[in-house]
Amino acid sequence: MSRIVVVGDVMTDVVAVHGSPVARGTDTAAQIELTGGGGAANTAAWLADLGVPVTLVGVVGTDPAGSARLDELRAAGVTCAVRRTREAPTGTVVVLSRAGERTMLTDRGANATLSTVDIDTALAEAPDAGHLHLSGYMLLDEQSRPAGRYALRAAAERGLTTSVDAASAAPLRQMGGDRFLAWVRGIDLLLANADEAVELPAELAEHVRYTVIKRGPEGAAWTSRDQPPVEVPADRAIVIDVTGAGDAFAAGLLAAWCGGAGPEAALRAGTRLGARAVATAGARPVPFADLLVSVDHAGRGG
C-alpha cells in the first residue's frame, strides 16, 4: 500500500474524564491522563497501528514534551518528519470529557509555526506517498494556514490524492464555512462531524469530490457529486472517552479507501476503528488486551 502523509498538529493531551458535572469554584473528581494527542498525530498513530506506511509532518518544541511526543510516535511505527523549534513550546490541550462529550482548552504552541519548507522536505523524503491528509486546524489558524494550503497544492502537483478533516466547529464558525471551503476546493475527500457540517455551505459537492460526515453514535455518511449517498450505522461500543474518535475514524476510512475499498467498506472501516477508540481514555491506540480490560472495568462500573 502507498504511504499516507499526514500534516498537522502534534499535541500533549491532558485528559480529564469526569463522571459528574464540573463544580465551579471547587473540586470535581476525575480520572486524569497525560498522553500524546493532536488530530494529525492521532490519525498517524492509528494508521501505523493498522500497518499502513505513514509519515507525520508537524512541529514540536525543543522541550521534554516534544521529545516524549516524538518517542511515542516513533515507537508506534510513525515516520516523523517533525521539526523541532525553540520558537514555541510543544502544543498542549486540556480535554474535559464526560458522557460522550468533550470540551478542549487549546494552546497550539509550536504547531502554528509549520512552514512550506516543512512540507517540501517531507514530500521529498516520501517518494512512495500516494495520499496526503491535512488536519483542518492548520487552515483554521492564520499562522499555519499558508503551509496548510501549500501542502494541498504540492500534493496535487505530485499526483497524490488529498483529504482534509474540518477539525473543529467553533473556529470553523468564527472563520466562516465559505472561506474554509475556498481553501479546500478541489480536494478528493472532506471529512466533517455533524456539528462541523452545519457550518459548511450546502453546495459541498460542487467543490470537493467526496464528503464524509461523521455522526458519532448514528454512524457515518458518504456523499459525492454523481452517486447516491451511502450510510452505515455506528459499531456498538461502550463509551469511555470520545477524545480522538474522529481521528481514529479518519485513519480507518483512509486506510481502506486508499487501499481500493469503496465508500461503504471505507465507512465501515472508519466506524470500526472509531468504536475501538471510544472504549478507552485518550486518543491513541492501545493494545487489544488493554482494551478488553478497559471494557470489562466499564461494564462492572469500575
First to last CA, the chain: 41
Which CATH entry fits the domain spanning 3-11+38-89+106-299: 1.10.150.570, 3.40.1190.20, 2.60.40.10, 3.10.150.10?
Answer: 3.40.1190.20
Distance CA 196, CA 176 (A): 11
Q: What is the residue-level pLDDT of the chain in tens, covering all 302 positions? A: 899 999 999 999 998 888 898 888 999 999 888 889 999 999 999 999 999 999 999 999 999 999 999 999 999 999 999 999 999 999 999 989 887 677 889 999 999 999 999 999 999 999 999 999 999 999 999 999 999 999 999 999 999 999 999 988 888 898 888 999 999 999 999 999 989 988 988 777 788 999 999 998 899 999 998 889 999 999 888 887 787 899 999 999 999 999 999 999 999 999 999 999 988 877 788 864 344 344 343 343 33
Q: Are 183 and 139 in contact (CB under 8 A)?
A: yes
Q: How far apart, in Å, are the Cα atoms of 261 and each of 14, 224, 244, 255, 258?
A: 35, 15, 23, 9, 7
Whole-structure pTM value = 0.90
What is the DSSP code string of 204-257?
A: GGGT-SEEEEE-GGG-EEEEESSS--EEEPPPP---S--TTHHHHHHHHHHHHH
